Chain A
Amino acid sequence: MLVDPGQTTRTQLPTPVGITKGPGESIHEYTFVSRDDFQILKNGEYVYYELDSPRAASHNGSTPARRRVLGRIIKRVPLRLYPDTFLGEPEIAPDQVAAMVGYHSRTNELFELHVAIMGYYDPATESFINPWIPPQSGKQIFLADDAMLTEVLSRKKHHEPGSATIGSLLTREPNAVPIVLSVKDVVSTHMAIIASTGAGKSYLASVFIEELMQPHNKACVLIIDPHGEYSTLDQIANEPSFSESGNFGPGYRPTVHVYKHDEIKVRLSTLQMGDMRALLPEMTEKQQYLLNRALQKLRSRKGDTPWSVADLKAAIKGSARQKEDEESEGADDSSTVHALTWRIEQRFEQSMTFDDSLHLDLREIFKPGQCTVLQLNEIDERDQQVIVATLLRRLYHARMDTERGKVHSGESYLPYPVFVLIEEAHHFAPGGAEVVSTSILKQVLAEGRKFGIGVGIISQRPGKLDADVLSQCQTQCIMRIVNEIDQKSVAAAIEGVGRDLLHNLPALSKGQVIVAGSAVNTPVICRVRQRITPHGGESKDAPEMWQQYFSNENQARLRREEAPLTNNQGFQFFR
């Protein structure tokens, strides 16, 4: 009898899809055999067998409790294939040949399916417990139904406070089994989104941000956006689905602040010696020594009050004079001072980014229910690193001081956790090279959990990313990766249980993601849901734009612009 198990499970008793054959290749695998008439046992699909729990039975004396030991199909081996010779004529189907020699081919297919045992779900610990024994030969295998998977795969329920529904299980119908991340775990143990370009990294990140800004999360989010891809998130503020009417007062409505590159300022007095070294590369030892002395002096004299470029220059000159006093035998420092002050003038006086007094106010950019986007495009990469480093440092100290009760008001008082999403993270913590933002990023990743700073890093080149940074992210969202080096660095960073899923990496399509780590109960392959706000990170359609260049309108406009009169040559002639 042919009964589609996918259709019946919800209404009647579940129909078995196969029978256990025996243990698999490794100790936590088993194999079962199935005809799979309906082609439902895909790679990555979830199946279970029932295990009697003798302990539970002896306790209450009733019928033994049955546990469903869930597993994931990792390999599908056909047991019966047509002989090669049957496939020799392209226009003749092999089942026609089989029918000719008297074989009814309706049910000829038979598969051996390899299953990795995940274990039975224990709601108390919210985890899967491995039974440490493969099923007996002959045990019936069932396809896990949507309701069961919804219950056990995700740690949170859809739309529950602290949940982020990023999509649905790939092997099932869209939206049948929602994949819900636990925001608490993401924020406390960090997240990494890794994918090749064009696989949908920023799309997934935007979906996650949308979830964070929903009324059930009301999160405090900062996005470091080096490419200006996240400006469309400002639609969140207008979208009614993000709002919530409150019993008291105006209710909840998320806000989105997009800071353009000219609005992003770094106050000079927040720079440290390391930042200076990055901003003024290849300083001589003497220059470094002088600058360091000057910075120490300024800090001791001014404390937390801002100081200007002029103050710094004066301090350098001051340090140099003092030095002459201390070591009268030494050479004259005036050339060094001159060179250093010249470099500082060049670097800071004309800079759009560095300012004597202005900078991003932490209380402005970090607010619950607010998503702040820092658009760093058009800013030099080295300046970007300094911006991120100073901001993270200030954030880290503010959160640390607030948590430890050192501050109770003012700019450094941040009494709520924050989530920082860093796009193109390999710029800020490249592997093999130390840049100014590397150490603070590592520090935040390692200790941010204590102070409520969650970090999400996004990168298209995990191979170029610092290995420590990647391994600190306990939730991994991995999308299509083709490059072998990148695949290996992901495999090295991801937790062991999902490693078999990584073989699927090159086969993933756009918008499909492997989610593993602490925010889900078990690694899953997920289809990212549709964004509510429009997407801003799409590739440019080059042929379309070239065509537009030659459109009639554009050509007319170009002719107008290039006409001789526009250069006012006629006017000059008259003059």
Chain B
Amino acid sequence: MVIGKIVKSDSHINYVCQIFGPREVDIVPRPADYAFGRFVRVAIRAGEYDESMPFKQLLGSSSEPVTYAVGVIYDTILQNPAYGTLGPRLSNEAQLELFSPDYISEKAVLIYVIILGTMEEQQNADGSVTVLSASHGIPPLSLELDSEIETMNDEEVRAFHFFRDPDRPDQPEPYLQMGYLPHIIAQRSNLLPMVVLRIIDQLERLFPHNLALLSIVKRNFAWRLKVETTG
């Protein structure tokens, strides 16, 4: 589900997205769709721009693989340009819509997304989707302004975390990966460690067989965040 678009970036991997408001899209995103710690993705345009591409994808007629940058929401800002304008208004709340239709659009919900890796998908003829590959780390290509950002369902999140590492011929079986952890930790934001805990909570739900493995990372983060900071 598309929830917003990229409006700004702070770095190669930190993007600010604006959540679509009423009348911008058919289905207005609910706060649960852009919750803290939610996995999102943005399609990366690698080659020449093909105007028909979104259409084809929409119709399910494209068989070209699409590469997505996968990220996670780690901060939310409620933007209100009217804040601080303390003078009296002539119109009340109900009249605003009629007399200043542009006012509402200036209120916005901004989310901060950190990019964790990429995944490549291909749409099959029957409409189902095959995940071709996934990788963790910093994608070489930058995202574009106004690119649409969409939420990921459980199946996609699972595919993004459970794959075979092509660099390890000794390990042909897919396994649970969180290769983005080192670069999350390297970021400066105070909220990112909390995001890691949220991610692990989600992964615990998705990978019940790997609880012990996840608990090692989880305990480590929980200790540092909860015990060491308050102790």
* CB <8 Å contact, A89 and B167: no
B213: Cβ under 8 A from any A Cβ: yes
Residues 202-220 (chain B) with a chain A CB within 8 angstroms: 212-213, 215-217, 219-220
* CB <8 Å contact, A96 and B213: yes
* CB <8 Å contact, B181 and A92: no
Which chain A positions have C-beta within 8 A of B216? Answer: 85-86, 88-89, 92, 97
* CB <8 Å contact, A106 and B170: yes
Which chain A positions have C-beta within 8 A of B213? Answer: 89, 92, 96-97, 100
B137: Cβ under 8 A from any A Cβ: yes
Number of interface residues, chain A, beta carbon within 8 A: 15
A543: Cβ under 8 A from any B Cβ: no
- Segment at the interface with A among B38-46, B100-108, B141-149, B171-179: B171-179
Which chain A positions have C-beta within 8 A of B188? Answer: none
Q: How far is the CA of A480 from the CA of B177 in the complex (A)?
A: 49
A104: Cβ under 8 A from any B Cβ: yes
- Give the shortest distance, in Å, between A530 (CB) and chain B (any CB): 41
Residues 62-120 (chain A) with a chain B CB within 8 angstroms: 83, 85-86, 88-89, 91-92, 96-97, 99-102, 104, 106
Which chain A positions have C-beta within 8 A of B167? Answer: 104
B182: Cβ under 8 A from any A Cβ: yes
Pick from A86, A91, A102: contact of B177, CB under 8 Å: A102
Q: Which residue of B lies closest to A88 (CB)?
A: B216
* CB <8 Å contact, A101 and B217: yes
Which chain A positions have C-beta within 8 A of B219? Answer: 85, 88
- Give the shortest distance, in Å, between B172 (CB) and chain A (any CB): 13
* CB <8 Å contact, A102 and B175: no
Residues A100 and B177 in contact in the complex (CB < 8 Å), given A92-B212, A106-B170: yes
Q: How far is the CA of A271 from the CA of B136 in the complex (A)?
A: 92
- Give the shortest distance, in Å, between B157 (CB) and chain A (any CB): 15
B89: Cβ under 8 A from any A Cβ: no
Which chain B positions have C-beta within 8 A of A89? Answer: 212-213, 215-216
- Give the shortest distance, in Å, between B36 (CB) and chain A (any CB): 22
B23: Cβ under 8 A from any A Cβ: no
Pick from A83, A88, A96, A101: contact of B179, CB under 8 Å: A101
Q: How far is the CA of A97 from the CA of B181 in the complex (A)?
A: 12
Residues 184-214 of chain B, each 1 if its beta carbon lies under 8 Å from chain A, else 0? 0000000000000000000000000000110
- Give the shortest distance, in Å, between B185 (CB) and chain A (any CB): 10
* CB <8 Å contact, B212 and A102: no
Residues 18-55 (chain B) with a chain A CB within 8 angstroms: none
* CB <8 Å contact, B220 and A85: yes
Which chain B positions have C-beta within 8 A of A85? Answer: 216, 219-220, 223
* CB <8 Å contact, A101 and B170: no
* CB <8 Å contact, A102 and B217: no
Which chain B positions have C-beta within 8 A of A97? Answer: 213, 216-217
* CB <8 Å contact, B136 and A102: yes
Pick from A91, A92, A100: contact of B178, CB under 8 Å: A100
Which chain A positions have C-beta within 8 A of B171? Answer: 99
Q: Which residue of B lies closest to A89 (CB)?
A: B212
20 more contacts with CB within 8 A, not counting A96-B213, A102-B180, are: A85-B216, A85-B220, A89-B212, A91-B212, A92-B213, A92-B216, A96-B175, A97-B216, A99-B165, A99-B171, A99-B175, A99-B177, A100-B176, A100-B178, A100-B179, A101-B177, A101-B178, A101-B181, A102-B136, A102-B137
In the assembled complex, 17 residue pairs joining A and B whose CB atoms fall closer than 8 Å, in A order, are A85-B220, A86-B216, A88-B215, A89-B215, A92-B216, A97-B216, A99-B168, A99-B177, A100-B177, A100-B179, A101-B177, A101-B179, A101-B181, A101-B217, A102-B137, A104-B167, A104-B168
